[in-house]
Amino acid sequence: MAQHWQELIPIDRYLVTSNGLLHEYDRKVLTFLYQPLIGSTCLSLYMTLWAELEENKLWSESSTHHLLMNLLSVNLKDIYEARLQLEGIGLLKTYVKSDESGRSFIYELYPPLNPEQFFLDGMLNIYLYRKIGKNHFARLKRFFSIPKRPADEDYLEVTRAFQDVFASAVPGSLQYMQEHAEDLEPESNQVFIGRQEQKPIQIDTNTFDFDLLMAGLNESLVPQKALTKKVKEVISNLAFLYGISPIEMKNFILGAINEKDEIDIEDLRKGARDWYQFENYDHLPSLINRTQPAVHQVQLTEPKTQEEKLIRYYETTPPIVIFKELSGGVEPSAANLKILEEVMIKYKLPPGVVNVLIEVVLRKTDMKFTKGFVESIASHWARLKIKTVKEAMEAARKEERGFQESKKTGRSTKQKPIRTEVLPDWFDDSGKASVQTETKDQNTELEAKKRAIEEKLKAFRK
């Protein structure tokens, strides 16, 4: 993964095009349905690129990214990160070309899902519900809905078909059209203006282990033919959305098989959703970055030292996996998951930084994950604008050094008892050495007192 300045610089040029015509109604869909998921910066970037397309044109003039920085009043890193999110949610495709004159991009805008597709998507609608809540979600459903046409049995359809209105061509006219067939086609270097309907978000089916799933299913109960392409796509989406393993997915499939030996997709979705809400106290999943975004990764080369390996591991591993491993394989409770989610959403800490926070908190509080302590560190790091794993580790070291120094000062004046903490291995050696030295001095002093008492006892017995 490269840093943003390796992927994009201000003088790189770009062109904007669109995959067909964008409609005015798309603005409402983007503002009310997509913006809560991708944020205002992403929406601003999309709208700005859209505005660069002239009316009824599908290509913009060439510009530099420096113009975008000025138009949006944001830095290049934010533009790059917003671009990645637009790509991930299916609103943008990016193409790049490098030659002797420099690097140039084509940004191809894709229309959003229409309201019907969005609310029946099975993924984006779940994320939106979790983000804005039940009441606002219901309000948006009403906003993007219209009353059904009343079914009145007194009305009879009298619409004429095409062949009832128009006559078929006579042979002479057919001959004429054959002779002028080339006139019907677009020019060699042009295409007709149109619009393809946007496809819903689809998780790659290769990310799910279907072999393991089939190994756990009895062929007599669920035949192989029941796993159609559409069913596999739904299974992949549900596995990503709710974090369902192939072994767990087996139970939902068995509950969704019908009398025709087919898998009812709606029953499958309902079973997975009900299970997740039961396991997570009626909560639904939210849309967050699962691993450290590429724009905030610092370990780009092959790691050599132990610290570099740890940084790379934290940058490529989801927080829930880190939490589980540090807890000895114990699954985090619903309360712990809620705290993690709030930290990532409320304080906008990247996943890699949250991984460092998890280790610091668990080590310093005897494996307790209390909300108050977590939020105190998270809010501090958010104020410091910490975005990388390396910055988080350095902030933790600095805080620990300050604590050790204040502890020494306090002991010399008030003789406070020493508090020994279990610290992460990546804390600097000086910090660990100071604790070990103090502990060693105490042990030596105790041993000397013990020996003196034993000598007195021996003398008394004699």
The answer, yes or no, to whether residue 214 has pLDDT greater than 70, is: yes
In the chain, what are the domain boundaries? Answer: 4-112, 205-279, 294-399, 430-462
Asked whether 60 and 16 are in contact (CB, 8 A), the reply is yes
Could you give the 3-state DSSP secondary structure of residue 10?
coil
133-148 residue pLDDT tens = 889 999 999 999 888 7
What confidence tier does 301 reach under pLDDT thresholds 50, 70, 90? confident
Residue entry with tokens 């906008």: 348
| Rounded-to-integer distance, Cα 421 and Cα 404, Å | 11
What confidence tier does 434 reach under pLDDT thresholds 50, 70, 90? very low
4-24 residue pLDDT tens = 777 888 999 999 999 878 888
Q: Which of 389, 406, 460, 395 shows the shortest CA–CA distance to 428?
A: 395
In one-letter notation, the amino acid at residue 287 is: L
Residue 152 to residues 148, 155, 156, 157, 301, Cα–Cα distance (Å): 12, 6, 9, 11, 70
Task: Label residue 281 exposed, middle or buried (CB < 10 Å: 0-12, 13-18, 19+).
Answer: exposed
| Rounded-to-integer distance, Cα 178 and Cα 182, Å | 9
354-400 residue pLDDT tens = 899 998 988 888 888 888 888 899 999 989 989 898 899 999 888 88
The answer, yes or no, to whether residue 447 has pLDDT greater than 80, is: no
What pLDDT score was predicted for residue 17? 92
The answer, yes or no, to whether residue 194 has pLDDT greater than 90, is: no
Which sign, positive or negative, has the C-alpha torsion 174, 175, 180, 185?
positive
| Rounded-to-integer distance, Cα 275 and Cα 257, Å | 17
Residue 337 to residues 62, 183, 279, Cα–Cα distance (Å): 46, 63, 11
End-to-end CA distance of the chain, in Å? 77
Residue 241 to residues 162, 238, 249, 359, 362, Cα–Cα distance (Å): 46, 5, 12, 26, 27
Q: Which residue has the higher pLDDT, 199 or 176?
A: 199
What confidence tier does 57 reach under pLDDT thresholds 50, 70, 90? confident
Q: Phi, psi (5° rounding) for residue 111? A: -70, 155
What confidence tier does 220 reach under pLDDT thresholds 50, 70, 90? low
Of all residues in the chain, the percent with pLDDT exceeding 70 is 75
Q: Which of 287, 313, 294, 276 shows the shortest CA–CA distance to 4?
A: 294
304-322 residue pLDDT tens = 788 888 888 888 888 888 8
What pLDDT score was predicted for residue 190? 65
The answer, yes or no, to whether residue 234 has pLDDT greater than 70, is: yes
Query: Who's near 337: CB < 8 A, 6+ residues apart?
Result: 280, 320
What confidence tier does 42 reach under pLDDT thresholds 50, 70, 90? very high
Residue 252 to residues 46, 242, 274, Cα–Cα distance (Å): 38, 12, 10
Q: Which of 188, 5, 199 shows the shortest CA–CA distance to 93?
A: 199
Asked whether 276 and 314 are in contact (CB, 8 A), the reply is no
| Rounded-to-integer distance, Cα 291 and Cα 392, Å | 15
Residue 133 to residues 107, 222, 234, 401, Cα–Cα distance (Å): 33, 37, 24, 43
Fold of 4-112: Arc Repressor Mutant, subunit A (1.10.10)
Average pLDDT across the chain, whole number: 80
Q: Which of 323, 314, 303, 312 shows the shortest CA–CA distance to 350?
A: 314
The answer, yes or no, to whether residue 431 has pLDDT greater than 50, is: no
102-119 residue pLDDT tens = 899 999 999 999 999 999
Asked whether 203 and 238 are in contact (CB, 8 A), the reply is no
What confidence tier does 251 reach under pLDDT thresholds 50, 70, 90? confident
Q: Which residue has the higher pLDDT, 353 or 206?
A: 353
Mean pLDDT of 412-422: 50
pTM of the model: 0.57
What pLDDT score was predicted for residue 227? 87
The answer, yes or no, to whether residue 432 has pLDDT greater than 50, is: no
Per-position DSSP letters for 360-400, written without gaps between them: HHHHHTTT---HHHHHHHHHHHHHTT--SHHHHHHHHHHHH
Mean pLDDT of 186-199: 65
| Rounded-to-integer distance, Cα 390 and Cα 312, Å | 10
Mean pLDDT of 167-196: 61
Give the distance from CA 24 to its chain's centroid.
28
What pLDDT score was predicted for residue 127? 87
329-357 residue pLDDT tens = 777 777 787 788 777 777 778 888 989 99
Q: Which residue has the higher pLDDT, 378 or 222?
A: 378
The answer, yes or no, to whether residue 452 has pLDDT greater than 90, is: no
What pLDDT score was predicted for residue 97? 94
Both structure tokens of 203: 């998780």
Asked whether 384 and 377 are in contact (CB, 8 A), the reply is no
